[in-house]
Amino acid sequence: ECIRWILKDHNGALIGRTAAFINKNKAYNYEVPVGGMGFFECIDNTEAAFLLFDQCKTWLSARGMEAMDGPINFGENENFWGLLVEGFSPASFGMNYHLPYYRNLFEQYGFKQFFEQVTNKLDLTLPFNERFRKIAQRVSDRPGYRYEHFKIKDMEKYLNDFKVVYDKAWAYHENFTPINLEDLREQFRQLKPIMDEEMILFAYHDNEPIGFLVMAPDANQVIYYLNGKMNSIWDKLKFLYYQKTKGFTRTRVMVMGISPQYRRLGIESGFFLFLRKVMDRKPQYTELELSWVGDFNPQMLAIHVALGGVFHKRHITYRCMFDPAKPVIPMQVILEGEVKTGNSTSH
């Protein structure tokens, strides 16, 4: 269930927009019912911003919600999630971009940090850390373990493998809900125009799926030439033209998951070793964005550092309690398959 608003000034000029929505699969998994708000854009004016926030709050409250998270989107959190607060370089596809003053608008209204999201990047023109490479090679050489890339002709097989791993890997996350296969199918269909089969990887042990990594070229590098428009057939033809003539130099890891019983065995390292070999065959790519990792996942942040990743961007997912007397409880840290209270730094 969702609704959207636009805001105009007394001259009829557009000065803001927002949307509010309720994901009924997740809204009731918290200590209070939580709705969402997002797609927020506004001039640097607290009166205008607060009017938009009030619209969201009133609409959600009337439907039984007692808090709202934002800025987020309707679906899964790998895309368009969180407010950009550090690293204001052009955003890659699927990542939110906001002007610096947005943070003040949210925090003055009463939004509090729910969790922080860190995006690191990797320079593909440099070799991997040698220690990391040796560990990854040792893992990859173990009997019974193998890595392979996605093949569109076997899409249904890989979607089912993805679901098997996802439902195990995310089960320890606070307020987890199993992924819907049809939703997953639609996400892969949307990815198809820029999909590179070799950039979507799966790990297996004795032929059972134990991990996945999904990466895609940064479509924004081409959409830039279309002024952000992809509505008409002509726009899509131009996209294909610029894809061929301008190409991609940046790619982004969208999501990675490992079944809990295979964590701390170096499976993640094996993924990046496999990926390194893929990227070495595609020298046009010079940058890999490792986005995003929440502050509730310090283990994955440590892997980014070991890999040679450096800080790139920071987003914050905020929560606003409608009763200001109630505190915002930070997202819980995931360690060793358990959920523990705290607020470290990382998806």
- Alpha-carbon Rg for the chain, nearest whole angstrom, is 21
Buried b (16+ CB within 10 A) or exposed e, 6-35: ebeeeeeeebbebbbbbbeeebeebebbbb
pLDDT above 70 coverage of the chain, percent: 94
Inform me whether the pLDDT recorded for 175 exceeds 70: no
Closest alpha carbon to 110 in 49, 59, 63, 65: 49
Mean pLDDT of 144-167: 96
- The predicted pLDDT at position 228 comes to 66
- pLDDT grade for 340, boundaries at 50, 70 and 90: very low
What is the C-alpha to C-alpha distance for residues 144 and 205, in angstroms, rounded to an integer? 5
pLDDT digits (tens, 9 = 90+) for 212-258: 999 999 988 888 777 766 677 777 777 777 777 778 999 999 999 99
Residue 336 has a pLDDT of 53
**What's the pLDDT tens digit per position in 260-307?**
999 888 898 899 889 999 999 999 999 999 979 999 888 889 889 888
- pTM for this structure? 0.87
List CB contacts of 199: < 8 A, sequence separation 6 or more: 149, 214, 215, 216, 217, 251, 275, 278
- Going along the chain from its start, the domains and CATH numbers come out as 2-117+315-340 (3.40.630.30), 126-285 (3.40.630.30)
Res. 337: pLDDT tops 70: no
Place of tokens 């560990």: 135
Nearest Cα neighbor of 214 from 78, 72, 75, 306 is 78
d(CA 140, CA 128): 16
The answer to whether 81 and 294 have CB atoms below 8 angstroms apart is: no
